[in-house]
Amino acid sequence: MAKKKKAVTGTAQAGPSIKGHWDGWNAALDDALGKTGWKAADHDAVQVEFYANVKVVNPGSIVEYGVKLIPPK
């Protein structure tokens, strides 16, 4: 029986190397993809969730970027 794919989460800390929000989410996506263990191929209908952990002060800021990859059922 084939091994069932599981959801995987990747993260990237905000910091000087992150020049814009998409840099943070791209780094988190790369981290998630590296953790999947999926074979190199096209993977259709993967749900991708982008999120941010924020520090609420005035002004607030993103402290961590995250991406969750959810394979189709």
> Can you give the pLDDT of all 73 residues of the chain as single tens digits?
567 789 999 999 999 989 999 999 999 999 999 999 888 888 889 999 999 999 998 888 999 999 999 998 8
- For residue 48, being part of any structural domain is answered with yes
- For residue 20, being part of any structural domain is answered with yes
- For residue 3, being part of any structural domain is answered with no
Nearest to residue 34, comparing CAs of 69, 62, 71? 69
- For residue 40, being part of any structural domain is answered with yes
- For residue 55, being part of any structural domain is answered with yes
Looking at the structure of the chain, the number of domains it has is: 1
For residue 55, what are the domain limits? 8-70
Torsion angle, alpha carbons of 45, 14, 21, 17, to 10:
-110
pTM to 2 decimal places: 0.86
First CA to last CA distance, the chain: 15
